[in-house]
Structure 1
């Protein structure tokens, strides 16, 4: 089982007792405003999402990690890798993403987790390139993308919801520079 330790975080596979705290995160409209159409997810939808995330680990050899704070054992959210099926024009590719509960914002956790995931993707999993796909205007996410050293590729739109998206990328050469 793949686990990643950072100075303050444990990135790990999902456990049964992660469901309720992740459902609480997904039920927050402020957290979810940049995701899809901005709809919140309930407990059952979160359970289905976690099941899909775990299946991606089996199918792809990567997925979304549960992000746990080492100091308290709290679930802060997720960070990891997925195939962005929602944006066919970008395929084939792998996307890095993260979602943390609002109480964990502004403390550097997203950047710390994303940096660990990026190293996992490019070094451990040997991926050639990783994308970050964000809604235009999501400045907090954009700050993380910038800290990762990702390079702007293009703007596009979400084929389902019509939102403007930005696509950034990084490859191993850029990552090591």
Structure 2
């Protein structure tokens, strides 16, 4: 696993315990959780536990969500990345592209910038044949991000009793 990925404005790197305040600011916001089951975290300890789970995924799976930081200031904006996911929409295993940014950074193109870097990493470094994502059907902004990153909506399905959209991009689709 690489130690970082840089884009024009962002530094993507593995999450660290010191990201706990940024993670809490992200996941305690009810607006961030609108399409994620409406269960924002209530304590920084919950955020610390999430970071611990993700860092274990780095060891167990060789990949997991990474911090998205502003390259010039170092400010924690949120997270993005690939994750080995299991048992969703009839797929036993797949690499899921996901992301979550603090609300004050929405609409600035950061998620798309990070997403394109992750798609490139997945195909060129990990040599994945396909990358998937799924998103709540009603989350139009998140669906636009996936499409700007080159993923295509291929089907709809139910997940946790809600309508979801399944997306994918294949290495063979890359020009």
Q: Which band: TM-score by shorter chain?
A: over 0.9
Q: After TM superposition, list the pairs within 5 Å mapping 1:136-175 onto structure 2.
A: 136-158=137-159, 161-174=160-173
The residue aligned with 1:40 is 40
Q: Which moved more, 1:48-57 or 1:129-138?
A: 48-57
Deviations for 1:62-106, whole angstroms, at most 9, x for unmatched residues? 111101101221000000111233626222211000000001001
The residue aligned with 1:130 is 131
The residue aligned with 1:52 is 53
Paired with 1:85 and 1:27, the residues of 2 have a C-alpha distance of: 26
Structure 2 unpaired stretches of 5+: none
For residue 125 of structure 1, give the secondary structure of its aligned residue in structure 2: coil
CA contact (8 A) 2:7 2:117 kept: yes
Paired with 1:157 and 1:53, the residues of 2 have a C-alpha distance of: 25
The residue aligned with 2:70 is 69
TM-score, scaled relative to structure 1: 0.93
C-alpha RMSD over aligned residues: 1.3
Report the count of equivalent residues: 173
Offset of residue 15 of structure 1 = 2.2
Structure with greater proportional helix content: 1
For residue 21 of structure 1, give the secondary structure of its aligned residue in structure 2: helix
Paired with 1:6 and 1:34, the residues of 2 have a C-alpha distance of: 27
Structure 1 unpaired stretches of 5+: none
Structure with greater proportional strand content: 2
Paired with 2:44 and 2:91, the residues of 1 have a C-alpha distance of: 30
The residue aligned with 2:17 is 16
Moved over 3 A (4+): none
